[in-house]
Structure 1
């Protein structure tokens, strides 16, 4: 079960890397690439699976931390989908907010112990 959870953690990290990279590379010409929405959804689903696998294996889960990360992940995913549907309204500030929230989610995961 630990190996499976580890695989999903890697998938989760790759998803956030896609979101962060996509937001930063599109700053010059503001738009949301299709990969950003896929990365956000992948990270969200993989994160939920990791929490489920950890709970099932008897691991200790900080529910407040998970709730904060889930809310931030849902906001990021909603922003990515909204931006993909409304390309003409995406600005550099929007992409900066998307990148900032992604960094916040990563920081919460790493720094909150």
Structure 2
């Protein structure tokens, strides 16, 4: 089970890296790429799967899971909104995408709430 969780962690972090990289690539023109939403949603789904596996095997840290789930959901929802609004994307939504991604990774690395 440890190997499966490790592979999922790698895929989860790669999804966030892709989403953040695509956001940086589109930051100059504020023309979001649909792949930002796909990568954010992939990271959200993988995170939910990891959370379920961890809790099923006796993992604790429910606040940690809740914080990561919140930031992942914000990033995914803001990404979808940015795709639908294109150039008219509000600044809160546009800059909320990388902020939520970075906060999600910070919570994971420093185990805030664990």
Q: Deviations over 1:34-66 (max 9, x none)?
A: 1101110110000011111112223x3200111
Distance change in 2, residues 1:95/1:103 (3 Å) = same
TM-score for both structures, normalised by structure 1: 0.89
Shift of 1:24: 1.1
Following TM superposition, the consecutive aligned residue runs of length 4 or more in structure 1 with deviations greater than 6 angstroms are none
- Structure 2 match to 1:64: 63
1:7 equivalenced with 2:1 (yes/no)? no
Moved more, 10-19 or 82-91: 82-91
Q: Which ranges in structure 1 are unaligned for 5 or more consecutive residues?
A: none
CA–CA distance in 2 between the matches of 1:63 and 1:92? 31
Question: What is the RMSD of the two structures over their aligned residues, measured on CA atoms?
Answer: 1.6
Q: Deviations over 1:54-106 (max 9, x none)?
A: 12223x32001111111111111110001111112136664332112211111
CA–CA distance in 2 between the matches of 1:31 and 1:90? 9
- Structure 2 match to 1:23: 23
Q: After the TM superposition, which residues 89-108 of structure 1 pair with which residues of structure 2 at under 5 Å, given as runs? A: 89-90=88-89, 94-108=93-107
- The count of corresponding residues between Structure 1 and Structure 2 is 112
- Structure 2 match to 1:33: 33
TM-score for both structures, normalised by structure 2: 0.88
CA–CA distance in 1 between the matches of 2:21 and 2:91? 14
Bigger relative contact order, structure 1 or 2 (CA pairs below 8 A, ≥6 apart): 1
